[in-house]
Homo-oligomer: A and B are copies of this chain.
Amino acid sequence: MTRQLGIGLISVGWMGRAHSRAYRNVHERFPDLGARPRLVVAADVAESGRSAAVEELGYERATADWREVIADPEVDAVSICAPNFLHREMAIAAAEAGKPFWIEKPMGISLEESTQIADAAAAAGVVTAVGFSYRHAPIIARARELVRSGRIGRVTNVRVGFVADYSADAEAPLTWRYARARAGSGVLGDLLSHGFHLAEHVVGEIAELVADQSIFIAERPIVTGDAVGHAAQAGTERGTVENEDYSAIIAHFAGGAVGVFESSRVSTGSRSEYTLEVHGTLGTLRWDFTRMNELEIATRDDEFYGFSTVLAGPADGEFSRFQPGPGIPMGFDDLKTIEASHFLRSVVTGEQDGPSVADGRRAAQLVDAAERSAASRGWVAAS
């Protein structure tokens, strides 16, 4: 039997909309889930966000006060999509109210905050989800299987690149993302936390690392108006960028493999180049989010030795719920629908399914280790 689940949303931005779409579509893609979301209430500080929630996203009501969302007795599960510096308070409140929540990453703006969130969820015994979207690409399921089954042999080394250009324009304004107090770390938290999780999801645990980080654009124009996403009005005065534009890391996995991680937010030409390479003694895998339905595979025993470009198809992960055949592209929002299915499955069954706040905390731990290593200029344990 299908159970209705009351959904509450906090903050109606890109991610708030993406969560809402995922809720709207998840039942049809996953009818076996036994859950049908009902969009009950959305909170946003802006009137425009509240009216969009009701008019466009289909929430029954809206409020300016996020606490009302959590308190609402019709709300069974909460999506927390507010700016990162507000996450902790909201997540802890949700946990304390016994409400399962789906939170975007980075969960908190520090390891401490992320730990507090994870601890609160654990103490309350609520299931959770965290927005590690990329692992849900169906071809990543294939990659993981090829790695875990030994098809590419013993993993020797791993390369992860989370490289983007969203801050490549030196005249892009100094939004909250560049402020320690608001964002915590820079590209480490915003992008490479995804890379850490993806690598551990596919390969296994990271044991220690040495990191380096840089601010390539030291000053940016100070914002004079409201900021929306990366855009904002700015004047001629400049302020200081407080967190890293770029980080490079060498890591040791517990299983013996070496990892090279690189992340940038200022890389010209690279829009959302989120890549994973896994090298094993018998084969190599390469993936790039920009072409998220493709996996390059080379194996030593191939009659036609070289990299094959393999397209995601019905046998890979949840692909068959979305398209009937390989070559028909799934898109990013489809990954959020898969993410929603894990969250709702957790809510319905009471058993954690998919990445939780513990995984979010783990990624924060790796970000923290990278920052500590960069500061100390030495290897640090990743735990």
Alpha-carbon separation in the docked complex, A167 to B284 (Å): 15
Name A's interface SS: mixed
Interface string of A311-354 (1 = CB under 8 A from B): 10100000000111111111111100000000000000000000
Q: Shortest Cβ distance from A174 into chain B, in angstroms?
A: 17
Q: Say yes or no for A3: interface residue by CB 8 A criterion.
A: no
Q: Say yes or no for A67: interface residue by CB 8 A criterion.
A: no
Which 7 pairs across A and B sit closest by C-beta, in order of nearness? A269-B298, A331-B331, A271-B327, A272-B327, A306-B310, A308-B308, A156-B216
Interface string of A167-186 (1 = CB under 8 A from B): 01110000000000000000
Q: Shortest Cβ distance from A261 into chain B, in angstroms?
A: 9
Residue A304 contacts which of B20, B249, B302, B327 (CB distance < 8 angstroms)? B302
Q: Say yes or no for A79: interface residue by CB 8 A criterion.
A: no
Which chain B positions have C-beta within 8 A of A166? 325
Q: Say yes or no for A217: interface residue by CB 8 A criterion.
A: yes
Known: A31-B55, A329-B329. 17 other contacts (CB 8 A): A24-B24, A24-B25, A28-B58, A159-B262, A168-B281, A217-B281, A267-B284, A269-B283, A269-B284, A269-B305, A290-B311, A302-B303, A305-B310, A323-B331, A323-B333, A333-B334, A378-B379
Q: Say yes or no for A69: interface residue by CB 8 A criterion.
A: no
Q: Which residue of B lies closest to A283 (CB)?
A: B268
Q: Say yes or no for A214: interface residue by CB 8 A criterion.
A: yes
Which chain B positions have C-beta within 8 A of A55? 2, 31
Q: Say yes or no for A27: interface residue by CB 8 A criterion.
A: yes
Q: Shortest Cβ distance from A299 into chain B, in angstroms?
A: 7
Residue A279 contacts which of B24, B230, B267 (CB distance < 8 angstroms)? B267
The reply to whether B281 and A258 contact each other, CB–CB distance below 8 Å, is: no
The reply to whether B291 and A299 contact each other, CB–CB distance below 8 Å, is: no
The reply to whether A212 and B212 contact each other, CB–CB distance below 8 Å, is: no
The reply to whether B326 and A157 contact each other, CB–CB distance below 8 Å, is: no
Which chain B positions have C-beta within 8 A of A21? 25, 28
